[in-house]
Chain A
Amino acid sequence: MKNSSKKNNNLNKVAYYPGCSLNSTAIDFNVSVKKLLDVLDIEHIEIDDWNCCGTTPANNIDEELVVLLSARNLMIAKNMGLEDILSPCVSCYNKLYKAAYYINSTSELKNKREEKIKASIFKTLKDMGFDTGQELNFKVYSIIEFLYLKKAEISRKFRELKQVNNENEEYSILKELIPVCYYGCALLRPKDALRFDDVERPTSMEEILKEVGIECVDFSFKTECCGAILSLSNKDSVLKLSGEVLDNALENNADSLIVFCQLCQQNLDLRQKQINRFNKTRYNLPILYITQVLGVALGLTFKQVMLDRLFVPIKSPGRSKVKSHNNDKGRLN
């Protein structure tokens, strides 16, 4: 893994950009991230009056629009005295990252076309009342990169709790799981821009989880796309692609998936019964956010990290028939 942050900064205070889904259907992700940051003593200050990043629709209709929407959020953070931005949602993260590329003072833009876009963005930001003349030096972090940089703290905190965790029933339930780490497509691509881990065989999630005693099995679909936001316009594609991710997890004898993207999480968890219907399977795989798992390992309860809100619940180990279920892969036909 490359060292992505060269800044002399211990990252104990960040501007927090939750994004729209984390305030709604991914509330469990939002809550578990914030509780985890609290446990790690990291101050997180929500960006005031933030707006939607525009996500895929804005990106697909106009590059300038999508950069502009995120640039406004960055400028508000700057006004709050913050330039380190943490965005757990991977779609928002990509948009904020792109906006930082366009507006950072040290960025070297590639060509005249990009210069033109930058000029146009600065003009609109100025009209909104932002000071575009000042030095801007934003650094945008995805949750995985951020947690990776905080690995030592996570490890230390976990060692402090070792005694407690030996008797922590909820932690033992998680420790019993045989998870795979699913990265999805959006974090590590495109390769030049965002890479902080191997594009094809990333290991950062496994490395972080190892620090809290959670061992994961490998699988081949780590960075395949789940179908993402096509769930709202071409659902069948999503049910097929997400189904293949679950197929491959089971082929590797996993009984659960650990993710960090709420779109992956929703497609795999909420839509798992649709996937089963579409592909004639009867899978029953809980899909957990990495922040929920880390939270429980660092002393939080299932309820606090909202693990009680999964659509496909975690089986408690006593009644689990994971092994036999895996052998026939749950195929109906």
Chain B
Amino acid sequence: MEKTNNDTDRIRNEILDYIEPKIYNCYQCGKCTSSCPLSDVFEYKPNQIIRLVQSGKIDAIINSNSIFLCLSCAICSSRCPQDVHIATIMNYIRNEAWKSGRFKIKSIKRFYKTFLRIVSRTGRSYEPGLLMSLNFLSGRLFNDMDLALDILKKRKIRLLPEFVKERKQITKTIKKYM
């Protein structure tokens, strides 16, 4: 691996060396983009992301909405005729964006943080707590309240949180990565 001076080079080299060494096999056919369920809302389409990685423009990717909206459904990887694992590349860049505090879309950042905070406290996810905190934090207090009544009527939610006995292990683990 070459010596690197900055984050962008490091991320690009990591992708070329380990995450997807086949990235230069991409011949820009666009099959990933035509398969992607969200490419119409992506600022950069999946095939453009590949070109941006090749040309070292990692910042442009992190500053666009694509990697954050990506659902990891991996249809792009699965249909790629050149076997380039686009979804894996996108997840890697997303991980790096988190580590450097550059998670662009606030609603998604808030969701991840709230979710992991709950899991780190109890060891498990707790849906009523998650929904209530998200509505509170986003200021959309009555979002999905129409569904809440239905759920209660059908008794399809656990009202009290569950606690893992050894939850200290989980707390410690999650803290290390958040």
Identify the A interface with B (CB < 8 A).
20-21, 23-28, 49-52, 54-65, 68-69, 72, 110-114, 124, 128, 185-186, 188-191, 199, 223-225, 227-230, 232-235, 237, 241, 270-271, 273-274, 309, 311
Q: Are B154 and A24 within 8 A (Cβ)?
A: no
B-chain residues with CB within 8 Å of residue A56 when the two chains form the complex: 72, 112
**Distance (Å) between the CB of A101 and the closest chain B CB?**
13
Q: Size class of B's contact patch?
A: 35 or more
Closest residue of chain A to B38 (Cβ to Cβ) is: A237
Q: Which residues B29-76 have CB closer than 8 A to chain A?
A: 37-38, 41, 69, 71-75
- Looking at the complex, which one of A111, A191, A229, A237 makes contact with B78 (CB distance below 8 Å)? A191
Assembled-state Cα–Cα distance A182/B155 (Å):
25
Q: Are B41 and A237 within 8 A (Cβ)?
A: yes
**Distance (Å) between the CB of B130 and the closest chain A CB?**
8
Assembled-state Cα–Cα distance A261/B105 (Å):
27
Assembled-state Cα–Cα distance A228/B143 (Å):
17
Residues of B contacting A: mostly: helix
- Looking at the complex, which one of A50, A230, A309 makes contact with B155 (CB distance below 8 Å)? A309
Q: Are A24 and B157 within 8 A (Cβ)?
A: yes
**Distance (Å) between the CB of B157 and the closest chain A CB?**
5
B-chain residues with CB within 8 Å of residue A59 when the two chains form the complex: 72, 91
Instruction: Return 30 A-B CB contacts under 8 Å, by A number.
Output: A20-B127, A21-B125, A25-B156, A26-B156, A49-B164, A50-B164, A51-B119, A51-B124, A51-B167, A51-B169, A55-B115, A55-B125, A59-B72, A59-B91, A60-B91, A60-B112, A61-B94, A61-B112, A62-B95, A110-B18, A112-B18, A113-B19, A185-B71, A190-B77, A191-B78, A232-B130, A232-B131, A237-B41, A241-B37, A270-B151
Q: Are A234 and B107 within 8 A (Cβ)?
A: yes
A-chain residues with CB within 8 Å of residue B7 when the two chains form the complex: none
List 9 tightest A-B contacts by C-beta distance, closest first.
A185-B73, A189-B74, A57-B112, A20-B125, A225-B73, A24-B158, A113-B18, A65-B177, A61-B98
Assembled-state Cα–Cα distance A49/B74 (Å):
31
Q: Are B78 and A190 within 8 A (Cβ)?
A: yes
Q: Are A61 and B164 within 8 A (Cβ)?
A: no
**Distance (Å) between the CB of B107 and the closest chain A CB?**
4
Closest residue of chain B to A111 (Cβ to Cβ) is: B18
